[in-house]
Amino acid sequence: MSRFTAAEPICTRKEGPVALVIRSRKRDLGGLPVRRVLPAPECRMVGPFIFLDEMGPVEYPAGEGIEVRPHPHIGLATVTWLFDGEILHRDSLGTEQVIRPGALNLMTAGRGIVHSERKVPGDNGRGHRLHGLQIWMALPRDRQEAEPAFEHYPAERFPVGGDERCRSTVVIGRFDHSESPVRFPAETLYVVLELAEGATVSVPDLVPQRALYTVEGCIELDGGFLRPGEMAVLNPGRVHAIARAPSRIVLLGGEPFSRRHIWWNFVHSDRGRIERAKDAWRDGRFATVPGDEDEFIPLPSN
């Protein structure tokens, strides 16, 4: 049994390497099962990271797949990373991009963008597995109203370090002498680690706020065990994690941000700006998504 607890106020710190553990909550988003980690009552943000869903893993039969209709965002950047499967991204800038495992889609909403995420047409009568992370990063205050943008990074652009015992892929930031090609306007760290059973990873104090999330396997930290769907928010100082089974974990963090409000798909430091975005979506004043104009997700009633 783990001796960690998640029943703490927002980011209250305990002594030792682990400040607290967040346990994900299961959700079903129209046939897509997710584990929702952030935001949580115990901790609203870790660095710029304000939202984290683990999508799947889910097995889709032939002809079926993810169908997320067009919806809006403001004040954030979405980061999509897949372990299995593929997704067709379209947005109101006219982007149409398929993402596959090891590649990254970075969409900066800024003052406003609309996008959809759909299954890729033509599965040739075969089913498929979908598994990945959908993460939102809040934008710095002076970038919340930036022009919307989209960037795709193919898998071969990401540095992979380590060996067969501990392999690291640096998605954003710097880690273990490697640097990601992705640029974000705030100090940020996002690393995917794959560990063999018994392997140890040393997590240095690279950024002011850090967390470890277990996707697969089991990690021992400070005498407790971090299992799939659990995130350990770390205290300052170097932390050593031991894989007690073949494991995949994610290290993320960055500089602390001032308070952000989050409502549905909108993130901003100004509540009034979110209210105006709600009105704009309700009144049909956001741009449409070329090639996906016939459907949309209505504004929630609460």
Residue 42 binned pLDDT confidence (cut-offs 50, 70, 90)? confident
Residue 269 binned pLDDT confidence (cut-offs 50, 70, 90)? very high
pLDDT for position 7:
30
The answer on pLDDT for 74 being more than 80 is: yes
pLDDT for position 13:
55
> What is the Cα–Cα distance from 57 to 60, expressed in whole angstroms?
10
Give Cα separations from 124 to 82, 89, 128, 226 (angstroms): 21, 20, 11, 39
Report the pLDDT averaged over residues 169-184. 96
Does residue 43 or residue 13 have the better pLDDT?
A: 43
Through-space distance between the first and last CA atoms of the chain, rounded to whole angstroms:
38
Q: Which residues are bridge partners to 242 per DSSP?
A: 200, 220
> What is the Cα–Cα distance from 164 to 9, expressed in whole angstroms?
39
Half-sphere exposure of 91 (CA within 13 A, CB side): 22
Helix (H, G, I), strand (E, B) or coil at 65: coil
The answer on pLDDT for 77 being more than 80 is: yes
Give the length of the chain.
302
CB 76 within 8 A of CB 50: yes
What pLDDT, in 10s, does the model give residues 126-165? 888 999 999 999 999 999 999 999 999 999 999 999 888 9
Most confident of 17-21, 46-50, 220-224: 46-50
Token look-up 């494991």 returns 247
Mean pLDDT across the chain: 93
Report the pLDDT averaged over residues 203-230. 95
| DSSP classification of residue 284 | T
| Burial track 24-61 (b if 16+ CB lie within 10 A, e otherwise) | beeeeeeebebbbbbbbebbbbbbbbbbbbbbbebebe
What pLDDT, in 10s, does the model give residues 82-118? 999 999 999 999 999 999 999 999 999 999 999 999 9
Provide, rounded to the nearest whole percent, the portion of the chain with pLDDT above 70.
Answer: 94
pLDDT for position 14:
67
pLDDT for position 1:
32
Q: Give the gyration radius of the chain's Cα atoms.
A: 19
